[in-house]
A and B are shown apart, each in its own frame.
Chain A
């Protein structure tokens, strides 16, 4: 087990390192020198030279990469080139909004998806099961950004029930929660279908176990059997899938944030791309890669605790 954890840690470390280097190479070597692009067409050669020197762009590439990695290791993600704010602060101001969005949509999806899947499995092949199945697949097929736009149209423009934009008032938890509902629901939609299906399959598998037969033969009610005994075992794969999917959810959160003008990581990176504020883009992507790898690592490790076969992979 220790060996497995160490190997997984090492792979994650290499992955993150590799991702950062690739990111560096992409940003530095795409057409257009960052300094020239940032300063715009009217910059004089002298200013460009100065900025290049300041950004270490005149040094050899390998020194740039080492400097870059060294700075990241120290937690320095560079400085925003428009307002001279440390990129780290901008990112850590935005990050809680993104994490709140991702976590709350997983919560919504679980709260609806798990009972739905359990119910469908308990009444396998009934009309309700078939409707749930069709509903699940339809929810999976609807792109989350489209769900966002349609929810915005329906619930905040047509019915005017929810606010359309922003992340809520600073420091006002209620207002922030209020602003969270629509984006979280639109991001959760596909996951409701996904979780419901996995839950259904998992319950159906669990129901064939011996202990379930024992519980039934004791004369327990079907409701008690399913909700007290089966559910506990059936939840394990669902939790593992949620862990693995969390990274993808962060990706989907980006575009949902943009639609609802939420001040999260996605909006930050998107706006920085528009204003060609590359240090923020670079720093934001690094944090995104880091977050994604860490979540995947945790999901893998918890999965291996639950299912020992994974370790021997």
Chain B
């Protein structure tokens, strides 16, 4: 048997025997996974599903109700709502993933430093995390984006910064727990550098719970991005995004309510999927984090 299929078998063996399996046998976890997975397929195969280009403007047919031509009707510029929703799934998935990845990177760096350094320096870091957390995140993001103009890069940086203190606190707490374990002391004794100890010996042992926390944070960030887009401060037009579509629908809510309805369904699809899946992950993989069941 060649090496590749061997490692594949190992992976299957691992999944079969690990607690991951429980996430998928939990009915709500499975439902969450299916919602996310279908969304992923929709995002990947968007051009094959849609019947119109999401940016084709057709002023003559603006704000038309759902029909066999336009399944979900058209928006104020005559663009096909169905196609824009389908393509909107791409932004809805990528922006939160990039945001949370950025937040995790920040958290790893600052959380490890805060946990590994002396208690005094650690406390200073904690205060800094608290300061960032004490900002009302939405107002803060609104202000900065209004000043700089909305673009995706800034959006990701800002939301990443507002989310990272929670992960960093978790990493710090975990680091405190392991930093006096034998293997760390041993590494220090044989003269390993601080960087090597932090990233090679401590990091792999503290990173686990962050992923669960991050998974539970995805719906929060999806909502956050959609809320900012709803205020006209998120994903810049003409990129199709659900928040912007709900905003447009809101402006024309008395004439054509379907934009709000279909955009809302899409948004709930995503947040519900990630919430269910995230909670199943937490309940089955890290019972310590479980506080509500």
Interface residues of A (CB under 8 A from B): 11, 14-16, 18-19, 22, 26-27, 30-32, 134, 137-138, 140-143, 145-146, 149-150, 152-153, 157-158, 197-198, 200-201, 247, 250-252, 254-255, 258-259, 266, 269-270, 273-274, 281, 284-285, 288-289, 292-293, 296
Interface residues of B (CB under 8 A from A): 28, 127-128, 130-131, 134-140, 142-144, 146-148, 219, 223, 226-227, 230-231, 246, 249-250, 253-254, 257, 260-261, 264, 267-268, 271-272, 275-276, 279, 291-293
Is A18's CB under 8 angstroms from B246's CB?
no
Report chain B residues within 8 Å CB of A143: 223, 226-227, 267, 271
Report chain A residues within 8 Å CB of B131: 14-15, 18-19, 22
Report chain A residues within 8 Å CB of B28: 134, 137
B139 contact from A137, A142, A197, A251, Cβ within 8 A: A251
Q: Would A258 and B271 be within 8 Å (CB), given that A30-B147, A201-B293 are in contact?
A: no
Is A258's CB under 8 angstroms from B246's CB?
no
Q: Would A31 and B147 be within 8 Å (CB), given that A141-B268, A254-B139 are in contact?
A: yes
9 pairs, CB–CB < 8 Å, chain A vs chain B: A15-B127, A26-B147, A143-B226, A149-B253, A150-B264, A197-B293, A198-B291, A274-B146, A292-B134
Q: Would A30 and B136 be within 8 Å (CB), given that A15-B127, A143-B223, A146-B268 are in contact?
A: no
Is A270's CB under 8 angstroms from B231's CB?
yes
Interface of B is mostly: helix
Report chain B residues within 8 Å CB of A157: 253-254, 257
Is A149's CB under 8 angstroms from B135's CB?
no
Q: What is the minimal beta-carbon distance from B239 to any residue of chain A, in angstroms?
A: 20
Is B136's CB under 8 angstroms from A251's CB?
yes
Is A149's CB under 8 angstroms from B246's CB?
yes
Q: What is the minimal beta-carbon distance from A297 to any residue of chain B, in angstroms?
A: 10
A138 to B273, CA, bound (A): 10
Q: Would A285 and B140 be within 8 Å (CB), given that A15-B127, A31-B147, A145-B227 are in contact?
A: yes
Give the residue name and chain of the A residue nearest to B257 (CB): A153
Is A255's CB under 8 angstroms from B143's CB?
no
Q: What is the minimal beta-carbon distance from A277 to any residue of chain B, in angstroms?
A: 11
